[in-house]
Chain A
Amino acid sequence: MTLADILASLFPDGHDVTVRDGLVSGSGPFAEGRIAVVGIDGDTPLGVDGALHLSRSVLDAIRAGDRGPILVAVDSDSQRMSRRDELLGLNECLAHLAKALLLADRSGHPTIGLIYGHSAAGAFIATALATRILAALPGANPSVMDLPSVARVTKLPLDKLEEMAKSTPVFAPGLDNMVATGAVHVVLDPGKPLDAQIRDLIAGMEPGDARDRLGAERGGRPVARDVAGAVIDQARRS
């Protein structure tokens, strides 16, 4: 689905969401109130300027005080890779955006990520992965790094990596693998209205971070939950 399709399905009665330079912001009617929409469209890389634009929208939503839901729609590239971005503190700006989303969540705003295209690396962490629930649409393609780049870094032949990727979700790009690790909570049905599906997600939200439990249940992260739990147990006994 394109962003336009998504917005049409979410807001049959219209909305004021706009896209400028690949940055998405606005809102639309939702349940009894409104849902704020922020995000990044068109496989756009996320740099310092974009991150601060989005974080401003999120902080404005918190200031509004209505505790309305915030939807983070993502079809991005990775972080913008440039000398200027790093000089200006890209790590601070991306972390700031993630913190704004995490603060919104703590402040009572349901935060829902919706990945409908690509996303990777720092851009993925600062947006979709900083929400309480991350939903995806079929065809989404989250990744940390594409396989040719993994081949270059690991010095393994691409055909061997492609073969390994079929049986090992832990390193391979793609939506199914991110679902298996628990990073993506749920894949939505594009054939049904999205507004009802998002409403159901909000209604079913659980406290805490469910991702390592999901990763264990789905087999994509076989040991993370147990290891984190073992650290907590030993800390308690220390």
Chain B
Amino acid sequence: MAGDRAASIDPDALSWYEATARQRVVALADPGTVQEFLPPTERRMSPHLPLFDLPRAFDDGIVVGRAALDGAPVLIAAQEGRFMGGAFGEIHGAKLVGLLRAALELKPRAVLILFDTGGVRLQEANAGETAIAETMRAIVEVRAAGIPVIGLIGGRAGCYGGGGLIAGTCSRLAVSEGGRISVSGPEVIETNKGAEEFDSRDRALVWRTMGGKHRRLTGGADAFCADTVSAFRRAALDLIGRAPAFDLETLAAEQARLEDRIARFGDCRDATDLWRRLGVNDPEAVPAMDTDAFDATVARVREADHDAR
């Protein structure tokens, strides 16, 4: 990847949501430090998509490599939501698995995963599903070795399906307003259970139920970012410094945290009911809050910050 391109990208001005995976990586890292593994010039393309008469990508929709972040070595993976919805195919998944396994040898300061995915690529479903399982195992091993794995979520495709499970396996997560974290997507729920269960055209409902603000308020994410690359960079640096250990104590605390959530909010129909019960004074105002106002709201919610992940 051309290191000189970094100089042309202003991380303060670059929208995370609008940027490509490669732009995010270059602008997130220290200038000129990104070195990509299996770059597009190697043309590792899906052997399966031609069967479906579908176009392929030279990188199979994911960038993996190493870089420096504030001078410290990190490994980075970034999914490209514009190619097949950032979905996990065989090569796409294997690149992420390889990067995590490499982390065990290279012992970087952290591994960053820039999620932008609809989940499993159905044309390669079995390979994608298995790669997600391999990724989760590898993340656990990296975390157990004392290396934080930080997820950054704010792309067009959100973080759905198996991507949501991988996110839940990370040490810490940063999310923006545009980031959505969920297992079943709105269309999937509507297709299977009907529009009365979930109206996927109701975008406000989608953001309230799965969006970055809801996840941040409930402790499903650990930082909330404005939609710029520099905001995600600051969040990543902060989260790397306070990643929880992967051990029985952490998982016991997560068990208690999640059971408490179900017990207290399990009868809530809508996110606004849940936010009210969390102690948010004016839950109807949350979706329109700017980042500063939202940060001030989060600061008053006890459940938002924890080491139980």
Contact = CB atoms under 8 A, between A and B. Distances in A.
Interface stretch (B13-21, B185-193, B286-294): B185-193
B193 A87 contact: no
B192 A81 contact: yes
Given A87-B209, A144-B120, A150-B125, A235 B94 contact: no
Interface residues of A, number: 81
Interface of A: 48-49, 52, 55-56, 59, 62-63, 79, 81-96, 98-100, 102-103, 106-107, 121-122, 124-126, 129-130, 143-145, 149-150, 152-154, 156, 164, 168-173, 177-178, 180-183, 209, 211-212, 215, 220-225, 227-232, 234-236, 238
B124 interface: yes
Contacts of A98: 136, 165, 169
A232 B105 CA distance: 9
Contacts of A48: 258, 262
Contacts of A85: 183-184
B140 A222 contact: no
Given A96-B255, A164-B51, A168-B48, A209 B138 contact: yes
Contacts of B122: 144-145, 150, 153-154, 171
B271 A87 contact: yes
Contacts of A63: 248
8 contacts: A81-B184, A82-B184, A94-B165, A106-B144, A122-B165, A228-B101, A231-B38, A235-B99
B226 interface: no
A234 B39 CA distance: 10
A231 B64 contact: yes
A228 B94 contact: yes
A88 B266 contact: yes
Given A79-B184, A88-B265, A224-B130, 14 more contacts: A88-B262, A94-B183, A98-B165, A99-B136, A103-B140, A122-B183, A122-B184, A125-B129, A170-B125, A211-B130, A227-B90, A230-B38, A235-B98, A238-B65
Given A83-B198, A94-B168, A150-B122, A232 B101 contact: yes
Contact of A170 (B124, B181, B258): B124
Contacts of A223: 44, 47, 90-91, 94
